């Protein structure tokens, strides 16, 4: 049986005013046909799992179209139509197919379609007809929509944050599609949408309260007749009607059971909603704690969370650390202009520079001072272990490593790179264990990489387009009422 593979993945932060264009996909991933197999078949990504799971299920994989861009602003209308047109053109030319494996992100927004994932999945469904089984994966940061559910026979979200099981979920999706095609099961799916938006600070699945929520989902997953279920944590930085948490249950031809399973999980979240509201530590308190006691300490810069779409050039934590002279610290900043200047000067040069703080005024002013160029590199590195994002080959563009007399190391990149891998440091001569404080621009995604070397982790409530306290953002399109924006209302599972 011939199985098509399609993916379109983008986490769209609508509070960033600069949109995502086609160039952003071309910089990252924009592939058709067999080039997809070459790029993904051995990766830890869910599309790699599609290939591996399909091989075990005896399915022939037909790679069709995969596009991915780093999280950033909403996709322009023109870019979204270009991607969809290319996707559907490649689907039409793929020949006869028996089923589809699809990889939407779930939090994709275009200027023309707030529910961009629901839109492109609906177009794919229309193109192949209602009879063809479609099984897909989702990032748990999806803002699930009824349109996504209606377009597919089954959707399976990763069960970990940081996302370390993407490959496994891709394999699960392929195996479920194989069982469906062989007539062993007939998947039906139901979703529930409680009026709760989880704080990003509470979404690490190895920590309370998300750990207990996933344990409850695992309990339901073991119920006879349940094929799989999913917890959608939600992505709070998209001003769309679907923003918030949701649940999916997939059963073997038992819609009532699927509805009960999803409703039960929604009810559990509602009862525990106040535990997901988050705690907020100030910059001053976090830095004061980090410079004392055993290190290294990882400061998680939540307001400049590159994995959530932020610019990656925020300097507020760096400024605070510079006030503690002699403390060895590390920070990575997106600043292609400064990389060029350092490259022209060469290794060993000492320059007067302004670093970071250039994309917008939200994330702090530039770091001004004297910096010595320690190393220059092309910015390419390989991550051999499963890490958030599922990629093994990484490219942050031309890179410069600078130092100050006060003990700070600043890595400058030409492409925005989320801190998902310690190889981002070690591949370019930076040994993380030599520092008291390491700044990682994220919330939960960097934890898998930094936990092996950091004695402590502190999530810091920095301002910015990914500020942890979502109540500080101006929403126009979200659901109302929605906890924690509104707190004095009642809700029950219908």
Q: How far apart are CA 115 and CA 101, in angstroms?
A: 20
By the 8 A CB rule, do 144 and 242 touch? yes
Tell me how far apart the alpha carbons of residues 366 and 316 are, in angstroms, rounded to a whole number: 9
Among candidates 313, 307, 459, 460, which has minimal Cα distance to 388? 307
- SS3 state of residue 280: coil
In this prediction, residue 386 has a pLDDT band, given cuts at 50, 70 and 90, of confident
Q: How far apart are CA 231 and CA 233, in angstroms?
A: 6
CB 208 within 8 A of CB 28: no
Q: Is residue 478, in this structure, part of any structural domain at all?
A: no
d(CA 190, CA 258): 5
Q: Residue 350 and residue 375: Cα distance in Å, rounded?
A: 12
* Domain boundaries, position 227: 2-276
* Residue 71 Rama label (left phi>0; alpha psi -120 to 50; beta): beta
**pLDDT of 355:** 98
What is the C-alpha to C-alpha distance for residues 143 and 148, in angstroms, rounded to an integer?
A: 10
The H or E element containing residue 289 is helix 283-290
- Domain annotation covers residue 120: yes
Q: Are residues 149 and 122 in the same domain?
A: yes
State whether 403 and 328 are in the same domain: yes
Same domain, 219 and 152: yes
Are residues 143 and 160 in contact, defined by beta-carbon separation less than 8 angstroms? no
CB-based burial, 435-465: b 16+ in 10 Å, e otherwise: bbbbbbbbbbbbbbbbeebbeebbbbbbbbb
In the structure, what pLDDT confidence band is assigned to residue 342 with cuts at 50, 70 and 90? very high
Place 412 in a pLDDT band, splitting at 50, 70 and 90: very high
Instruction: Centre a 10 Å sphere on the Cβ of residue 1 and count the other Cβ atoms it contains.
Output: 14
pLDDT band at 360 (very low <50, low <70, confident <90, very high): confident
321 shares its domain with 375: yes
Q: Write the DSSP string, 132-169.
A: S-EEEEE-TT----HHHHHH-SEEEE-S-SS---HHHH
Q: Is 66 within a domain?
A: yes
| Each residue's pLDDT tens digit, 49-60 | 999 999 999 999
- Selection from 206, 219, 226, 224 nearest residue 268 by Cα: 219
Residue 8 has pLDDT above 90, yes or no: yes
Residue 415 belongs to some domain of the structure = yes
Residue 256 host element (H or E) = helix 255-271
Reduced to 3 states (helix: H, G, I; strand: E, B; else coil), residue 394 is strand
**The two structure tokens encoding residue 483:** 């906890």
Whether residue 295 has pLDDT greater than 80: yes
The confidence band for 389, taking pLDDT boundaries of 50, 70 and 90, is confident
Compute CA distances 412 → 139, 186, 334, whole Å: 29, 51, 6
Is residue 322 located within the same domain as residue 224? no
pLDDT score, position 325: 86
Q: Answer yes or no: are the C-beta atoms of 270 and 491 closer than 8 Å.
A: yes
**Quick one: 300 and 414 in the same domain?**
yes
Considering the domain architecture, whether residues 113 and 33 belong to the same structural domain is answered as: yes
The pLDDT of residue 494 is above 80: no
State the DSSP string of 181-237.
Answer: HTTS--EEEEEE--SB---GGG--TTSTTHHHHHHHHHHHHTSTTEEEEEEE---TT
Tokens at 480, concatenated: 């109302």
* 291 and 249 assigned to the same domain: no
Is residue 472's pLDDT more than 80? yes
* 376 falls within a domain: yes
Last residue within a domain, chosen from 276, 306, 328? 276
Query: How many residues are recorded in the chain?
Result: 494
Q: Mean per-residue pLDDT for 244-269?
A: 98
Do 263 and 353 lie in one domain? The reply is: no
d(CA 439, CA 378): 22
Is the pLDDT at 385 greater than 90? The verdict is no
Q: Using CB atoms within 10 A of its CB, is residue 158 exposed (0-12), middle (13-18) or buried (19+)?
A: buried
Split at pLDDT 50, 70, 90, the class of 218 is very high
Look at phi and psi of residue 321 and say left if phi exceeds 0, alpha if psi is from -120 to 50, else beta.
alpha
Do 18 and 73 lie in one domain? The reply is yes
Band of the pLDDT at 388, cuts 50, 70, 90?
A: confident
Q: What is the pLDDT of residue 384?
A: 87
Three-state DSSP state, 450: helix
Of the candidates 243, 258, 276, which is a domain's last residue?
A: 276
Q: Which long-range contacts (CB under 8 A, 24 or more apart) does 350-359 make?
A: 353/402, 355/315, 355/402, 355/410, 355/412, 356/313, 356/314, 356/315, 356/318, 357/313, 357/314, 357/315, 358/313, 359/311, 359/313, 359/334
Q: What is the mean pLDDT of residues 317-346?
A: 97
Inside any domain, residue 27: yes
Residues 301 and 253 in one domain: no
d(CA 84, CA 66): 11
Backbone angles phi, psi at 2, to 5 degrees: -100, 125
Is 54 within the bounds of a domain? yes
- Residue 157 tokens read as 């979200």
pLDDT tens, position by position, 42-100: 899 999 999 999 999 999 999 999 999 999 999 999 999 999 999 999 999 999 999 99
Q: What is the C-alpha separation between 354 and 165, in angstroms, rounded?
A: 40
Q: What phi and psi, each to the nearest 5 degrees, are found at residue 47? A: -70, -35
Residue linked to tokens 């990504």: 45
52-55 LR contacts (CB < 8 Å, sep 24+): 52/167, 52/170, 52/171, 52/174, 53/170, 53/171, 53/172, 53/173, 53/174, 53/175, 53/178, 54/3, 54/101, 54/174, 54/177, 54/178
User: Within a domain: residue 479?
Assistant: no
> What's the mean pLDDT in 316-338?
96
Residue 322 pLDDT greater than 90, yes or no: yes
Instruction: Determine the pLDDT at residue 391.
Output: 79
Of the three residues 251, 276, 301, the one that is the final residue of a domain is 276
Are residues 217 and 320 located together in one domain of the fold?
A: no
pLDDT in tens, 242-253: 999 999 999 999
Q: What is the reported pLDDT for 6?
A: 98
Q: What percent of the chain has pLDDT over 90?
A: 95
Number of domains in the chain: 2
Nearest CA-CA partner of 52 in 181, 174, 135, 149: 174
Closest CA to 249 of 156, 161, 175: 156
Residue 25: φ, ψ to 5° = -70, -40
CB 196 within 8 A of CB 246: no
């Amino acid at each position: 049986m011939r199985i098509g593979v399609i993916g379109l993945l983008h986490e769209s932060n609508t509070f960033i005013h600069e949109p995502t264009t086609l160039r952003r996909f071309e910089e990252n991933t924009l592939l058709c046909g067999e080039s997809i197999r070459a790029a993904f078949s051995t990766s830890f990504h869910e599309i790699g799992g599609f290939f591996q799971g399909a091989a075990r299920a005896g399915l022939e994989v037909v790679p069709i179209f995969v596009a991915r861009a780093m999280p950033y602003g909403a996709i322009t209308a023109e870019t979204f139509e270009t991607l969809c047109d290319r996707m559907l053109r490649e689907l039409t030319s793929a020949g006869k197919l028996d089923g589809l494996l699809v990889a939407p992100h779930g939090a994709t927004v275009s200027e023309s379609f707030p529910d961009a994932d629901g839109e492109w999945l609906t177009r794919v469904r229309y193109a192949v007809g209602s009879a063809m089984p479609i099984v897909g994966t989702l990032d748990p940061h999806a803002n699930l929509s009824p349109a996504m559910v209606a377009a597919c026979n089954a959707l399976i979200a990763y069960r970990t944050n940081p996302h370390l099981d993407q490959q496994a979920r891709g394999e699960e999706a392929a195996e479920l599609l194989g069982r469906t095609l062989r007539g062993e099961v007939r998947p039906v799916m139901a979703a529930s949408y409680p009026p709760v938006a989880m704080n990003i600070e509470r979404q690490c699945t190895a920590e309370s309260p998300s750990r207990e929520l996933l344990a409850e989902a695992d309990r339901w997953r073991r119920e006879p007749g349940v094929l799989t279920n999913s917890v959608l944590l939600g992505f709070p930085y998209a001003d769309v009607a679907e923003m918030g948490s949701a649940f999916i249950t997939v059963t073997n031809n038992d819609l009532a059971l699927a509805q009960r399973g999803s409703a039960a999980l929604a009810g559990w979240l509602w009862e525990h909603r106040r535990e997901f509201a988050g705690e907020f530590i100030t910059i001053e308190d976090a830095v004061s704690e980090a410079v004392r006691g055993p290190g290294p300490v990882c400061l998680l810069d939540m307001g400049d969370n590159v994995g959530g779409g932020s610019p990656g050039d925020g300097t507020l934590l760096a400024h605070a650390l510079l006030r503690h002279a002699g403390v060895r610290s590390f920070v990575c900043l997106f600043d292609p202009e400064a990389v060029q200047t350092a490259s022209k000067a060469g290794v060993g040069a000492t320059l007067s520079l302004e670093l970071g703080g250039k994309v917008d005024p939200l994330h702090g002013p530039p770091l001004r001072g004297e910096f010595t160029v320690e190393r220059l590199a092309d910015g390419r590195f390989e991550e051999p272990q499963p890490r958030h994002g599922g990629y093994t080959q990484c490219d942050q563009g031309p890179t410069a490593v600078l130092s100050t007399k006060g003990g700070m190391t600043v890595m400058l990149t030409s492409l925005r790179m989320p801190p998902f891998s310690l190889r981002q440091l070690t591949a370019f001569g930076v040994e993380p264990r030599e520092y008291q404080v390491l700044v990682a621009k994220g919330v939960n995604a960097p934890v898998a990489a930094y936990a092996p070397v950091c004695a402590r982790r502190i999530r810091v409530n920095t301002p910015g387009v990914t500020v942890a306290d979502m109540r500080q953002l101006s929403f126009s399109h979200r659901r109302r009422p929605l906890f924690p924006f509104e707190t004095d209302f009642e809700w029950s599972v219908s």
